[in-house]
Amino acid sequence: MSDLESRPGERLVMVGVMGGAASSAESFLVSMRLSCRGVQALNLGTGVTLGQAAAEVAHRPDVQALLLVCATGVHAVAGQLAGLAELKASGSLAPPVFVGGARGDCWRELRPLAAHLRGLGVAQVLADLADAAYLLPVRRAGLGGVAPVSSREKKVPAWTG
C-alpha cells in the first residue's frame, strides 16, 4: 500500500494553501497536527485554486473533507471561493470544505468573513484547521464507514443500587 492510499478505517483529508505567496510551512503544520489527531492528510501544496482542489478531490472518493489554508491575503478568500456553491450543487465537490488558518492571527482576519464564507458553501471556518479532525466522523473497518455508538458512549443513567 502506498502512502497515498488510505487504510480501512482511516480518516483522510486534502489540505491546500490558497494564494501564491504563502509558505508551504502552513500546510505542513496543519497536516502534522491532523496526523497527531488521527487524520491522514494529502498535501496539495501552495497556490491551490478551488478548481485544482476540486479536481484532486474527484480522483479520491475516500477523502472526507477539503481543508483550505488561508495563510495570506485573507480578504481575497471570498473571491477565490466564488465558484464553490456551483461545485457543491453540481456534485463536483462532494466532501465538506473547511477554511481557516494554522495560526491565530489568520482567525482575527477570517472571523468577520465567516458568515459570508458559509454562504458561499464553506462548511466551517476554523481558527486552526487541525480542529477539523474533531468534526470528521470516525471510520471503522467493516462497519460501512460509520462507528457504532457503544453502550458506554450512550447516555445511560448511572446505577444507584
Domain spanning 17-134, CATH class:
alpha beta
Residue 14 burial (C-beta neighbours within 10 Å; 0-12, 13-18, 19+): buried
Domain ranges of the chain: 17-134
Name residues whose C-beta falls within 8 Å of residue 106's C-beta, 6 or more positions apart in sequence: 70, 71, 74, 100, 127
Q: Does residue 132 register a pLDDT over 50?
A: yes
In this prediction, residue 138 carries a pLDDT of 76
67-108 tens-digit pLDDT? 998 866 667 788 889 899 999 999 999 999 999 887 656 777
Contact between 1 and 135 (Cβ < 8 Å): no
Amino acid type, 12: L
Q: Looking only at Cα atoms, what is the longest distance across the chain?
A: 64
Q: Does residue 109 register a pLDDT over 70?
A: yes
Q: What is the pTM of this model?
A: 0.78
Cell digits of residue 122: 464553506
| String of DSSP letters for 65-123 | EEEEEE-S-GGGHHHHTTTHHHHHHHTSS-S-EEEE-SSHHHHHHHGGGHHHHHHTT-S
In this prediction, residue 41 carries a pLDDT of 94
Average pLDDT for the chain:
78
Contact between 100 and 133 (Cβ < 8 Å): no
In this prediction, residue 108 carries a pLDDT of 76
